Amino acid sequence: MGIDVRHETERGEVTACISDPRMLLPRLLANANLKCSICVRFIDPYGDAVFNQAQLPALAQELRGMLKVAADGEAREHLEAVIQLVEAAKGRVHTYVRFVGD
Q: What is the pLDDT of residue 28?
A: 94
Q: Is the dihedral of CA 71, 77, 81, 87 positive or negative?
A: positive
How far apart, in Å, are the Cα atoms of 88 and each of 23, 47, 73, 97?
23, 23, 22, 10
pLDDT at 102 over 90: no
Q: What is the pLDDT of residue 76?
A: 95
- Please name which of 82, 48, 45 lies closest in space to residue 62, comparing C-alpha atoms: 82
Q: What is the pLDDT of residue 2?
A: 95
pLDDT by residue (tens digit) across 21-64? 999 999 999 989 888 899 999 999 999 999 999 999 999 999 99
